[in-house]
Structure 1
Amino acid sequence: MSVVITNLIILLLSGFFLVLGADVAIKSISSFAKKLGASEYFIGFVVVALGTSTPELITAITGSLEAVKTFNSAFSNVVVGNLIGANILDVTVVLGIMALFATKLKIEGEVIGKTLFQIMALVSLPIILGFDGMLSRIDALILILAFLLYIRNLWKKEASIGKLEKDVPLRRLIKDMLLFLISVPIIIISAKYFVASAVSVAYYLNIPAFLVGLTLVSIGTTLPELSVETRSVLRGHKDIGFGDILGSVVVNITLVLGLAALISPIKINLALYSTSAMFMITSVFIAILFIDKKVITWKEGLGLLLIYITFLMSQGILSIA
């Protein structure tokens, strides 16, 4: 039992430094993008989302490298569980808390409505690819290519709507670049211990590694998104928040999952994967419906939180069964 307690302490400490490093990364790249004149939604979707997904990205890469080194599929299962769990958290808990903070959350911005259908298609892609029980390196390349094509499309829309600056002096960007470079090693080291301790806890308590990633690890890696979204609402920058939520969902399930599977092909536990994956698609679809109607009330925000509680209960029942 002392081993479990030790690993839980390591998990909490590494999670703290993971969030701290991600927070520095988020602030630096967000400042960088603003100086380039990008819109709030674009900053949120691409720049901040890449920043807040840094814990998931480094956790996924670290986990996949450990899977290759140790021939232990538990690391890959933690990675997949973390990414699906993080996405469900983003569109239920994080979006729900945003709505509760704002009481009536109004959605603005021209790019948001034009990209919702494409986001739904991207979220569904890894589910389709994974139903043969494996995410191969070919599947990984498809996911990464899909992400790059989507970002290219979003950039074109941004160029026609936004006010991008073409000539920004380098001296205005140096501070942001240095802060980002400092944050990277903090995130990498923290992620290594975060994943290793989570796998150890799962092993000693005889809990499926996928389930640990789906709940415990995903809650830890989603803290940067929660921090950004609450601050974006309180400071009157809601479009950054919406962009970050949708962007994090796309980054996690295409780029991050693709890179993880490229390093180490992932064998999937279909019993747990299919249920949680369908829950993710349903949650994203409900969130998109709310966003598409341009307003989310506090009652709907509460409903999103209840969806996550239902999800946790269903996973608990499945793990017992």
Structure 2
Amino acid sequence: MGILLLIYSLSTKINYHKMFLTDLMSFVLTCIIMVKSAETLVGSLSRIASYFRVTEFVVGFMIMAFATSIPELFTGISSAMESTVESPKTSLALGNVIGANIIDLTLVIGIAAILRRNIKVETKAVRTDTVYMFLISILPLILMIDHEISRIDGVVLLFIFAIYVLRLLTQKGRFREKIGMDISRGEFHKNLILFVVSISLLFISAHFLIEYAHALALELGVPDILIGLLMISLGTTLPELTFETKAVLSEHQYMALGDLIGSVIANSTLVLGLTAIIFPIQTTDFVLFMTSAFFMLTIAFLFMTFIEAEKHITWQEGIALIFLYILYMVVILTIRSLEAVQTMG
């Protein structure tokens, strides 16, 4: 009898590990598909816009305001659509947004600063935007004080995003890059198909990303928000990292900073706003949320200070920002470990 119990116990553990590894590999694969689909979507949209002779301002605005937040947006919408009163999943979206904003302002800009050695900020518009970014990033955290971002809160966030969009539309001088593409009818049809396929893949991959993330949270015995903070956010910020690296190495520093600031603003307003309207955002682990919120505000304030006071970000400051992210991960994992010990006790 004892041998049978031992065999049963071992087989259960083996099956659990197989299930965990399968879910983890599926999660990583889904992240890659989502990021590639987002890149294809942006490229096809730019070419479609070129075919219709849309100005470079509109294309630049579209990329700056929306493009790199597409993975976060689809993840948020999917988590809201799959949420029920008994099983809410919107904390995955909340964790993803906070985690993505922290990664954008530490790892992404830190790596860009190290590669460029010194990112200069000469335009007043970008420096002003860092202040707007800091103030706007505070808003969802204030709305979450009652442990929920309601549908009304979601409308408020979308209203703030609309103001940001209107402000961008009045600043045509910021988008100086020429499109320089002459698109044939055949190319147009090809990109139209790519657009439809990439949109479909984004919806499908976002659905499975939420499913695998939720499964991993259950298998690891951790809250959904932790998976959003540390895992989903790393996957969905890959477009920002790619764009920032290419931009700073090709001397387009103002584009890199503008895209990064736009991404943080879009995440904090558009993504959370739409998610909350579909299904209110809640979290079961308020300590993790408040700790992450504190780190995000501190990092956003430091970023704003670097830009406003010094008008540049040096490679040394880039290293400091990367270390801040490492510190954040250590603190978050320590808090979770202590919570697990208390639960077991």
TM-score (norm 2): 0.84
Residues 36 and 189 of structure 1: CA distance in aligned 2, closer, same or farther (over 3 Å): same
Q: 1:129 touches 1:135 (CA, 8 Å); kept in 2?
A: yes
For residue 286 of structure 1, the aligned residue among 291, 302, 308 is 302
Q: 2:129 touches 2:261 (CA, 8 Å); kept in 1?
A: no
2:156 is aligned to 142
Deviation, structure 1 residue 198 = 1.0
Q: Structure 1 stretch 28-37 or stretch 147-156: which is displaced more? A: 28-37
Matched residue SS, 1:207: coil
Q: CA–CA distance in 2 between the matches of 1:298 and 1:161? A: 25
Deviation, structure 1 residue 294 = 2.2
Deviation, structure 1 residue 46 = 4.8
1:38 is aligned to 57
Q: Are residue 112 (structure 1) and residue 126 (structure 2) matched?
A: yes
Matched residue SS, 1:108: coil
Q: CA–CA distance in 2 between the matches of 1:162 and 1:49? A: 12
Q: Are residue 232 (structure 1) and residue 251 (structure 2) matched?
A: no
Matched residue SS, 2:336: helix
Q: CA–CA distance in 2 between the matches of 1:116 and 1:87? A: 13
Q: 1:29 touches 1:48 (CA, 8 Å); kept in 2?
A: no
Matched residue SS, 1:105: strand
Q: 2:76 touches 2:93 (CA, 8 Å); kept in 1?
A: yes
Q: CA–CA distance in 2 between the matches of 1:174 and 1:265? A: 39
1:26 is aligned to 42
Matched residue SS, 1:67: coil
For the aligned residue pairs, the C-alpha RMSD in angstroms reads 2.6
Deviation, structure 1 residue 232 = 1.0
1:259 is aligned to 274
For residue 214 of structure 1, the aligned residue among 205, 221, 229 is 229
Q: Are residue 88 (structure 1) and residue 102 (structure 2) matched?
A: yes
Deviation, structure 1 residue 99 = 0.2
Instruction: Give the share of equivalent positions with the same residue, in percent.
Output: 34
Q: CA–CA distance in 2 between the matches of 1:163 and 1:100? A: 25
Residues 308 and 183 of structure 1: CA distance in aligned 2, closer, same or farther (over 3 Å): same
Matched residue SS, 1:296: strand
Equivalent runs, 1:26-175 vs 2, <5 Å: 26-30=42-46, 32=49, 36-38=55-57, 43=60, 46-68=62-84, 71-73=86-88, 75-156=89-170, 158-159=171-172, 174=188
Q: CA–CA distance in 2 between the matches of 1:295 and 1:161? A: 18
Matched residue SS, 1:38: helix
Deviation, structure 1 residue 71 = 3.2
Q: CA–CA distance in 1 between the matches of 2:26 and 2:318? A: 33
Deviation, structure 1 residue 213 = 0.5
Q: CA–CA distance in 2 between the matches of 1:97 and 1:285? A: 19
1:315 is aligned to 332
TM-score (norm 1): 0.89
Deviation, structure 1 residue 250 = 0.6
Q: 1:46 touches 1:247 (CA, 8 Å); kept in 2?
A: no
Q: 1:37 touches 1:164 (CA, 8 Å); kept in 2?
A: yes
2:203 is aligned to 188
Q: CA–CA distance in 1 between the matches of 2:117 and 2:282? A: 43
Q: Which runs of 5+ in 2 are unaligned?
A: 1-16, 339-345
Larger Rg: 2
CA deviations on 1:193-212 (whole Å, 9 max, x unpaired) are 11110110110110121111
2:4 is aligned to none
Q: CA–CA distance in 2 between the matches of 1:300 and 1:7? A: 37
Equivalent runs, 1:192-203 vs 2, <5 Å: 192-203=207-218
Residues 264 and 91 of structure 1: CA distance in aligned 2, closer, same or farther (over 3 Å): same
Q: Which runs of 5+ in 1 are unaligned?
A: none
Q: 2:65 touches 2:165 (CA, 8 Å); kept in 1?
A: no
Q: Structure 1 stretch 174-183 or stretch 133-142: which is displaced more? A: 174-183
Deviation, structure 1 residue 272 = 1.4
The residue type paired with residue 5 of structure 1 is: L
CA deviations on 1:185-235 (whole Å, 9 max, x unpaired) are 111111111111011011011012111110011001111111111111122
Deviation, structure 1 residue 24 = 1.2
